[in-house]
């Protein structure tokens, strides 16, 4: 299964990545695309790509805290491997990043409805992996001090080991 979810959407996942049930339009779009692609594949649809966009009523990048109600409108467009048109549309009222979306979602392939569901994925699952930038310096790291000591030794007993002019 190849599912392409827009670069801007993928980059936005980090906005909601630390809190599993916070609704953010980018995270909802990403999770919807991932879950819808998997569901379409289960229905024997050969998904070539699927790109989803979420809209939270004009609040770009906004998120809603757990327990508050919100709706993220989701619009997905894509193609099957044989160039058939895929659309997934609906409203999401709950999402667990990378694991599930709940709401009202419909998928059509070539004009034929493939599914109309109230949710995709497993909301009791742990959230999927999200990007977390590394912290610098790494936790527990201590600065290191390097000291170089140079000592010149003259070997007076060896005739080939005499001081060199200019040193």
pLDDT at 10 > cutoff 60: no
Tell me how far apart the alpha carbons of residues 123 and 99 are, in angstroms, rounded to a whole number.
6
Tell me how far apart the alpha carbons of residues 55 and 71 are, in angstroms, rounded to a whole number.
9
pLDDT at 2 > cutoff 50: no
Is this prediction's pTM over 0.85? no
Distances (CA, A) of 31 to 43, 53, 75, 117, 151: 18, 11, 12, 15, 64
Dihedral sign, CA of 100, 101, 102, 107?
Answer: negative
Output the six-digit token pair for 48: 């070539």
Tell me how far apart the alpha carbons of residues 156 and 89 are, in angstroms, rounded to a whole number.
90
Span 4-31, average pLDDT:
56
Give the tens place of pLDDT for each residue, 90-143: 999 888 877 888 999 999 999 899 999 998 988 886 665 555 555 555 566 666
Say if CB 86 and CB 79 are below 8 A apart.
yes
pLDDT at 66 > cutoff 60: no
């Amino acid at each position: 299964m190849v599912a392409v979810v827009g670069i801007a959407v993928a980059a936005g996942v980090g906005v909601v990545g630390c809190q599993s049930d916070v609704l953010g339009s980018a995270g909802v779009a990403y999770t919807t695309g991932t879950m819808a692609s998997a569901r379409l594949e289960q229905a024997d649809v050969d998904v070539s790509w699927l790109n989803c966009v979420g809209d939270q009523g004009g609040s770009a990048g906004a998120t809603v805290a757990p327990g508050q109600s919100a709706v993220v409108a989701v619009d997905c467009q894509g193609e099957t491997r044989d160039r058939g048109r895929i659309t997934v549309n609906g409203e999401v009222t709950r999402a667990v990043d990378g694991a599930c979306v709940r709401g009202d979602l419909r998928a059509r392939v070539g004009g034929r409805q493939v599914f109309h569901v109230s949710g995709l994925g497993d909301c009791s699952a742990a959230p999927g992996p999200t990007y977390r930038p590394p912290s610098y310096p790494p936790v527990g790291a201590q600065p290191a001090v390097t000291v170089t000591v140079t000592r010149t030794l003259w070997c007076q007993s060896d005739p080939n080991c005499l001081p060199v002019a200019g040193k």
